[in-house]
Amino acid sequence: MEATTSAAEKGQLSIHTDNIFPIIKKFLYSDHEIFLRELVSNAVDATQKLKKLAGFGEFNGELGELKVTVKLDEEAKTITISDRGIGMTADEIKKYINQIAFSGAAEFVEKYKEKEDTRGNIIGNFGLGFYSSFMVAREVEIITKSFQEGAEAVRWTCDGSTEFSIEPAQKEDRGTDIILHIAEDSEEFLMKYRLNEILEKYGKFLPVEIEFDEKIINNPNPIWTKQPSELKDEDYIAFYKELHPMSEDPLFWIHLNVDYPFNLTGVLYFPKLKNDFSIKKEKIQLYSRQVFITDEVKDVVPDFLQLLHGVIDSPDIPLNVSRSYLQSDSNVKKINGYITRKVADKLSEIFRNDREGFQKKFDDIGLFVKYGMISDEKFGEKAKEFCLVKNLAGKHFTFEEYTEKVKENQTDKGETVVWLYASDVQKQDTYIQSAQKRGYDVLIFDSVIDPHFINGIEYKIEKTSIKRVDADTLDKLIEKEIKLESVLSKDDEERAKKLFEETLGGAPKLTITVEAMPTDEMPVVITIPEFIRRMNDMAATSGQKSMFGDMPTMLNLAINANHPVTQKILNAASDGSEPSDASALIRHAYNLALLSQGMLSGSDLTAFVQQAVSRL
């Protein structure tokens, strides 16, 4: 029979300092709302323990309705958390409450570990959880009665000092009531909406029903606690809507379920990313035995996977003593690697089993796959099999397939296959049409990640160069052994170059060349060197200023030696006409070239339009 308490007993809490409560209040928990998570979690623990004992044959009574109740009394300024779990005897109160940081959950697990794995059902790992109540309460009462036969009810009271009172109490049923008398500086927690908000945040999926304001506020059996074989697509979509009520349906999902070498369950969803990074991260929630911990999962989940949505639950992820944030260890790294591998395997499986469906989804998941390829080497190796590129005709290709498609026509004299691409189809239309006249294929790389992606994969694909279609003249983009002949003599080419240099001397720095191009090409072609343009694009998507400034420090200007306008300029400069006639032609051709690159603006554009109108 237990030791009974026949009269009020006074005592001192077994701690090493008289200042423990201010320390707990100020340093242990950064957010005072955590008190409710801790107390409700403890109540759930007590309930789970009773279920386990019944399963072991050590409790033969009626379990009855098992739920945790949170009650708010605004008038009395109290919050009460009640359960019908195992309760405590007077001796257990002295042991578990009066000796701070003695973990009841840890002892329970140790005692029953030989019977079965109880860890998956016991939340608490820290005896300090109960003391979080003193962050918000001026006084805390515990009224409890053990499940043990013949047990007597006990009341424990403490006002936040090191003194406590323990005495007999009246309580008919087993279980524990924690009564918090809320302090003046914490009266925000006496508002119904505030408590509901906290319970929704931390207790939405606790494994025991939680009742507040006469309603059950949680789902005790979320889908990640079930086997995939028990679930249908509708179940996964319904759960996604539970997590993100206003979101579009996910594209697909991955059900995580592993018990060795660590325990991990969860469901990760692939949302539609809409081709930009505006989608908010922090959409993966981390739980420990169904208790919400954080949505900051950067150590557990690789950065690129944080674009996914969903839930991860693991008792093996190490938390700090207040269960507020992660602590790094080898398990975290293993879990990180496991999740990356599972995602890569899932994508590979969908690609192999439903190529057409995968291609339809790729516009939505391409951003994520590309981000993964450039940020995670192991994912990148696997993703080479299923990462797709799309051409202007809307057809998708793997890297290997695309190289095979274009190598015959787009291999340069150095045996390098050149991939041409456009980042803005409308703006680069002139250059695209020129490429297509040569029979060249053009890819579309127009997402915010593509400048970084192009830079990354160029090194992963042997003997391949990736160039934007307007990065140079076509003969330089894909240099062949055979070149077009110029109709101009060497002297005329030098004269043309000099005329352009003299006329455009005040323009931004230009590298001027005269090149033999088809007669149906532009008379003047302006390009931005691939390296400079790529660095500018990468800086822009990173939100940083390019080392080359807002505009490129250098433009390439190629004069088409075979275009009739070039001959017209030479004639205007040598047949006795005013020098201004040749200059006017040069400036007009130059402005056309700028316009084709989207680089003619402001007063220069206005003057060009007015000049064109005057010639009508």
Feature table: binding site for ATP: 38, 42, 83, 88, 103-104, 176, 323
Q: What is the C-alpha to C-alpha distance for residues 581 and 603, in angstroms, rounded to an integer?
A: 22
DSSP string computed for 286-334: EEETTEEEES--TTTS-GGGGGSEEEEE-TTS-B-TTSSSB---HHHHH
List alpha helices for 24-126, DSSP H: 34-55, 90-96, 104-112
Longest dimension (CA), the chain: 124
Q: Which helix (H) or strand (E) holds 181?
A: strand 175-182
| Sole residue written with tokens 């084709």 | 596
Q: Is 567 left (phi over 0), alpha (psi -120 to 50) or beta?
A: alpha
Q: What is the C-alpha to C-alpha distance for residues 243 and 311, in angstroms, rounded to an integer?
A: 9
Which residues are part of a known binding site?
38, 42, 83, 88, 103-104, 176, 323
Q: What is the C-alpha to C-alpha distance for residues 292 and 285, in angstroms, rounded to an integer?
A: 7
Grouping H, G, I as helix, E, B as strand and the rest as coil, residue 245 is coil
Look up residue 321 and give its amino acid.
V
| Sole residue written with tokens 């578990």 | 96
- The answer to whether the peptide bond before residue 222 is cis (omega within 30 degrees of 0) is no
Q: What is the C-alpha to C-alpha distance for residues 199 and 273, in angstroms, rounded to an integer?
A: 30
Q: Is 142 left (phi over 0), alpha (psi -120 to 50) or beta?
A: beta
Spell out the SS3 assignment of 393-436: CCCEEEHHHHHHHHCCCCECCCCCEEEEEECCCCCCHHHHHHHH
Distance of CA 468 to the CA centre of its chain: 29
Cα four-point dihedral sign 237, 301, 265, 105: negative
CA 134, 139, 142 angle in degrees (round to 5)? Answer: 90
**Of 244, 295, 447, whose CA–CA distance to 365 is shortest?**
447
